[in-house]
Amino acid sequence: MQSRLSRRAFMAAAGAGAIYGCGNGSDQRSATSGHFEPNWESIRTHQVPQWYDDAKLGIFVHWGLYSVPAWATPTGELGEIDFTHWFANNPYAEWYLNSLRIDGSPTQEHHRKTYGEDFDYMDFAPQFNEALRAWDPGAMAGLFADAGARYVVLTTKHHDGFTLWPSEIENPNLPEGRRSTDRDVVGELTAAIKAAQMRMGFYYSGGLDWSFNPEPIDTLEKVWGTIIHTQQFADYADAHWRELIAKYDPTILWNDIGYPEQADLAQIVADFYNTHPDGLINNRFEIGKEGAPQRHHDFTTPEYAEMDEITDYKWETCRGLGYSFGYNRVETAEHTIGEAELIHLLADIVSKNGNLLLNAGPMPDGTIPELQASRLRTLGSWLRKNGDAIYGTRPWNRATGETGDGIPVRFTSKGDAVYAIVLGQPTSNTITLELGTDSMDVSVTVLGESQAPTAAIADGTLTVTLAEPLPEGHAHALRLERG
């Protein structure tokens, strides 16, 4: 009998590196050297750059041919649905092609009724390219900056094999006009993101490519079993990564679901680090075979997951605003994370040494659906007021607590300051927190507010007396400093 997969269990399955014993990285490395050789021993001396540890919030962008049908069954969040049910009822709209190939799936039924049984998935390419004519990369970058993001990761090629840049590397399995966008989406968005003072990263599906291996994935085992380990595909994926790095100068290489064992990856990563001292890579470049030798990563990437405690390594959770990463026209507010829940999620992740890579799924013309855009704007508004408790912080000696009236609290720190982020609305003008510290004088500032509360610590309990009630808000951040 198989039970529902818990969030904690799924964290072990979110990336191939996590499944196959890839270490957490930070506890295995020596000081960063000035030059990296093309071997994993040398590459593992690389350290996470400070900018990434300071950034805390990035925007993921899933955008491609799947954005045209934009259809998936909203069955629930990854990690909450049994995998025996998951693939045929996949809520990830970006997996449309795989869902279409599973006989009897809701996606297959929808596709045949809507487009006809003979309409090929790659025939969405002309519609996508036509819609892209209206895209405004500056407006997209502006929304992400307004959300408070410090970096963006774009899906340059998802599992369907279609690229968002006119690659010079020819896909031998896709027909002319069905291989890539006409506009250079990667180049144009990269330029807009950098102009908006954010860092740019590239997602690339280096393990799965359904144009090379069309076998439908209907079990969890087939995710790893259909990773392509051939010299042809290794050369193809390597050439793509080299082209993306040379043409567009990314800061993050964000691979997905394994990488061919025949690849020249150590050379690519060493060259990248040597030319990008602020660059880093995620943990999904692992080979994807049980018992395979460990490669390297700077941070781990659990999916729709959170940590219970502070970690001693850097991690980044990725998730959609709804159940899907790609735009899904079926999703409504019922399937979308709420404003308060989103803010609380970010505070929780940051308190435990993580970053949040929050996905936006554009429509074919690049418009971010209003339901998603409103969530991004709300998060950005909160960060403009309370961002000092998020950006540039590090975990305190503990992550969690609660006020005397039971409101959850998340702690962060920066220099000599400790931040207490109250995840809700205080019920009175007095806020008490168990800090466990000796009695001392302490000064407290409510971020974004002009009032000057009084505060004192006695017997390990902090008592903050507000001059007036706090305005209604999803969360409030207190800055604590020794008086």
Segment 152-204, tens digit of pLDDT: 999 999 999 999 999 999 999 999 999 999 999 999 999 999 999 999 999 99
Beta bridge partners of 256: 205
Give the count of beta carbons closer than 10 Å to the beta carbon of residue 315. 22
In the chain, % of residues over pLDDT 90? 87
Query: What does the pLDDT look like over 397-440, one tens digit per residue?
Result: 999 999 999 999 999 999 999 999 999 999 999 999 998 776 66
pLDDT value, residue 380: 98
Do residues 160 and 210 touch, judged by C-beta distance below 8 A?
yes
Query: What does the pLDDT look like over 54-108, one tens digit per residue?
Result: 999 999 999 999 999 999 999 999 989 999 999 999 999 999 999 999 999 999 9
Mean pLDDT, rounded, for 279-296: 93
pLDDT value, residue 290: 85
pLDDT value, residue 15: 40
Pairing relation of β-strands 454-458 and 440-446? antiparallel
Do residues 97 and 161 touch, judged by C-beta distance below 8 A?
no
Mean pLDDT, rounded, for 216-224: 96
**Is residue 18 over pLDDT 60?**
no
Tokens 């899907």 correspond to: 324
pLDDT value, residue 11: 32
**Is residue 5 over pLDDT 50?**
no
pLDDT value, residue 23: 32
pLDDT value, residue 178: 96
pLDDT value, residue 440: 63
- 483 — pLDDT class (breaks 50, 70, 90): low
Tokens 């990008």 correspond to: 276
- Please report, for residues 72, 162, 272, the alpha-carbon distance to residue 126 in angstroms, rounded to integers and kept in the order given: 21, 12, 34
Tokens 């605003």 correspond to: 321
pLDDT value, residue 22: 31
Nearest in space to 107 (alpha carbons), one of 67, 81, 65, 69: 69
- 452 — pLDDT class (breaks 50, 70, 90): confident
pLDDT value, residue 441: 74
Mean pLDDT, rounded, for 5-30: 33
Do residues 48 and 75 touch, judged by C-beta distance below 8 A?
no
Mean pLDDT, rounded, for 306-318: 97
pLDDT value, residue 272: 98
Which residues contact residue 263 at a Cβ distance below 8 angstroms, ignoring those fewer than 6 apart?
A: 206, 234, 237, 238
Q: What tokens were used for 44?
A: 């593992």
Mean pLDDT, rounded, for 227-253: 98
Distance, CA of 153 to CA of 356 (rounded, Å): 12
Q: In what order do the strands lie in the sheet containing 57-61?
A: 280-281, 252-256, 199-205, 151-157, 57-61, 354-360, 315-320
- 31 — pLDDT class (breaks 50, 70, 90): very low
pTM to 2 decimal places: 0.93
pLDDT value, residue 435: 87
Distance, CA of 236 to CA of 230 (rounded, Å): 10
Mean pLDDT, rounded, for 254-264: 97
Residues in the chain: 483
